[in-house]
């Protein structure tokens, strides 16, 4: 069997962002070989036309390797920016007054245009305004329909169109811009597997994206706004997956508050059975250096110990000098952590109580039985992927082999902890199910003769949402004979 079709030796997934340093077919294949399980296409950079070749290269590699490969399209979301300055830049002095208004005249050290009506409607006295990724801090002292007066708490240089963050209020803006709607339609036409939505502040922000997607992709909510934390559980319930976008959270919140929030987001997502990705600045120094800092290695390890489904590289793989080495390092850290005898105990710090359903009860039982009888693998038959997500939520100690007849399901599961998805024909009978489970376990090197495996499925077959069977079988030596798919 080729290396490509063998399961990874780790359960956490690695998501690599593609960009100028990594968009050729050759580099994409190198990233895959180094350990990338899924690829992020950032819609904030480049035009749609440039993404077509990238997506085609991933799909061509998928065909060569025979492994369903996940593509996540990350929408830009609203970008709040100030206007222009006379001369292109100015200097804000700490302690002085600074005004943001609706006047398009080029600004100076005392004022600048803010072309976002929604902020004037939502702003409150005492709220902070952060400029240029939080480098400059303004405090609102007064406001009306056309003017926001502030005191400069942290000054510095400010140039044209720098970004603005409003961490202390919910800005009444839709999470989707016109650009996002166009990018979303493009991504769906390209048959990407996940759509990541930026600027999520409340569960209602997911509604338009969900309506436009119409089930053609899974929807991931990026948690990057402090307002999202206040309604975190509601947001997680309304999406298919979650990203801890630490970069933007770290701009709008004190840096020391981000680690406990990361743990909280991971815990809530795991408890509610949604795949969760930890992202941003994980191996930041590897943008320019062939090796990471020890603190970065520890940071990645912490996310793995917490039981995150996936860990993500951003600029490290998209624009850095060492993209392949960054993926290889992420892979090596994850493998080392999962070899730690204490890893299993730490992953189960999060209590994931099953819902009172047959499917949840069987998923929990599969994990426990696998440990009790030392099973080699859990084999899950699923059409929608929901059974696989339920089993993965339990973080079983053995590999999870997911057999599905639907290509879109196999691809979407690339962000799910421990899942090795295989596209295969559906089964028609109990005997066919057992025989196929044994063959696939052998073929994908997840079990050998004499091993027990656990099968979880639904009867009647080909009926989504009918998970009601858990079966333990022992593999004998000749299961591969007569194998036909």
Q: What is the pLDDT of residues 324-333, one digit of tens each?
A: 999 999 999 9
Mean of pLDDT values over 350-373: 90
Give Cα separations from 129 to 134, 135, 165, 200, 237 (angstroms).
8, 11, 6, 18, 30
Q: What is the pLDDT of residues 298-318, one digit of tens each?
A: 999 999 999 999 999 999 999
C-alpha to C-alpha distance for 152 and 92, rounded to whole angstroms: 7
Q: 89-92 and 156-159 as β-strands: parallel, antiparallel, unpaired? A: antiparallel
Q: 81 an active-site residue?
A: yes
C-alpha to C-alpha distance for 456 and 476, rounded to whole angstroms: 19
Whole-prediction pTM: 0.92
Q: 393 an active-site residue?
A: no
C-alpha to C-alpha distance for 52 and 41, rounded to whole angstroms: 10
Q: 280 an active-site residue?
A: yes
* Contact (Cβ atoms closer than 8 angstroms) between residue 86 and residue 106: yes
Q: How confident is the model at residue 5 (pLDDT cuts 50, 70, 90)?
A: low
> Which residue is catalytic, options 30, 59, 79, 81?
81
Percent of the chain with pLDDT over 90: 88
* Contact (Cβ atoms closer than 8 angstroms) between residue 335 and residue 34: no
> Which residue is catalytic, options 17, 69, 70, 280?
280
**Tokens representing 168?**
């202390």
C-alpha to C-alpha distance for 182 and 258, rounded to whole angstroms: 32
> Which residue is catalytic, options 10, 13, 51, 222?
222
- Does residue 2 have a pLDDT over 60? no
Q: What is the pLDDT of residues 399-443, one digit of tens each?
A: 999 999 999 999 999 999 999 999 999 898 999 999 999 999 999
> Which residue is catalytic, options 10, 11, 40, 439?
40
Ranges of beta strands (E only) in 187-271 are 194-197, 218-223, 241-245
Q: What is the pLDDT of residues 192-236, one digit of tens each?
A: 999 999 999 999 999 999 999 999 999 999 999 999 999 999 999
Q: 97 an active-site residue?
A: no
Q: How confident is the model at residue 185 (pLDDT cuts 50, 70, 90)?
A: very high
Three-class secondary structure assignment of 134-161: CCEEEEEEEECCCEEEEEEEECEEEECC
C-alpha to C-alpha distance for 447 and 452, rounded to whole angstroms: 8
């Amino acid at each position: 069997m080729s290396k490509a079709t063998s399961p990874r030796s780790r359960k956490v997934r690695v998501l690599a962002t593609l960009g100028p340093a990594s968009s050729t077919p050759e580099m994409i294949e190198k990233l895959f070989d180094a350990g990338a399980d899924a690829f992020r296409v950032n819609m904030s950079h480049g035009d749609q036309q440039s993404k077509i070749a990238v997506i085609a290269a991933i799909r061509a590699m998928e065909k060569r390797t025979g492994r369903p490969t996940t593509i996540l399209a990350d929408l830009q979301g609203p970008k709040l920016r100030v206007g222009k300055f006379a001369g292109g830049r100015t200097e804000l002095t700490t302690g002085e007054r600074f005004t943001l208004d609706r006047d398009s005249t080029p600004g100076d050290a005392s004022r600048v245009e803010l072309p976002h009506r929604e902020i004037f409607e939502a702003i409150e006295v005492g709220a902070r305004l952060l400029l240029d990724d939080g480098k400059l801090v303004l405090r609102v002292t007064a406001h009306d329909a056309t003017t926001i007066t502030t005191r400069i708490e942290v000054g510095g240089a400010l140039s044209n169109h720098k970004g603005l963050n409003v961490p202390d209020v919910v800005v009444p803006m839709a999470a989707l811009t016109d650009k996002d709607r166009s990018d979303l339609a493009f991504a769906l036409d390209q048959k990407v597997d996940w759509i990541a939505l930026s600027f999520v502040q409340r569960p209602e922000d997911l509604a338009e994206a969900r309506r436009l997607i119409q089930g053609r992709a899974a929807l991931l909510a990026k948690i990057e706004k402090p307002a999202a934390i206040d309604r975190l559980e509601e947001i997680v319930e309304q999406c298919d997956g979650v990203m801890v976008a630490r970069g933007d959270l770290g701009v709008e919140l004190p840096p020391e508050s981000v680690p406990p929030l990361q743990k909280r987001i991971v815990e809530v997502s795991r408890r509610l059975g949604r795949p969760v990705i930890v992202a941003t600045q994980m191996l930041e120094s590897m943008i320019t250096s062939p090796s990471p800092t020890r603190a970065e290695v520890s940071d990645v390890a912490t996310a793995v110990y917490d039981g995150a489904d996936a860990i993500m590289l951003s600029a490290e793989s998209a624009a850095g000098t060492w993209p392949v080495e960054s993926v290889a390092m992420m892979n090596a850290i994850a493998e080392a952590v999962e070899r730690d005898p204490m890893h299993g105990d730490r992953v189960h710090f999060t209590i994931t109580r099953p819902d009172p359903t047959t499917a949840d009860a069987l998923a929990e039982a599969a994990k426990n039985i696998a440990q009790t009888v030392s099973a080699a693998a859990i084999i899950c038959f699923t059409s929608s992927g929901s059974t696989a997500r339920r089993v993965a939520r339990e973080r079983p100690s053995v590999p999870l082999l997911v057999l599905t007849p639907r290509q879109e399901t196999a691809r979407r599961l690339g962000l799910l902890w421990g899942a090795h998805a295989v596209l295969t024909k559906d089964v028609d009978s109990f005997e066919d199910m057992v025989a196929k489970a044994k063959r696939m376990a052998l073929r994908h090197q997840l079990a050998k003769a004499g091993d027990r495996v656990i099968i979880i499925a639904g009867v009647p077959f080909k009926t989504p949402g009918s998970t009601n069977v858990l079966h333990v079988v022992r593999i004998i030596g000749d299961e591969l004979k007569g194998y036909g798919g």
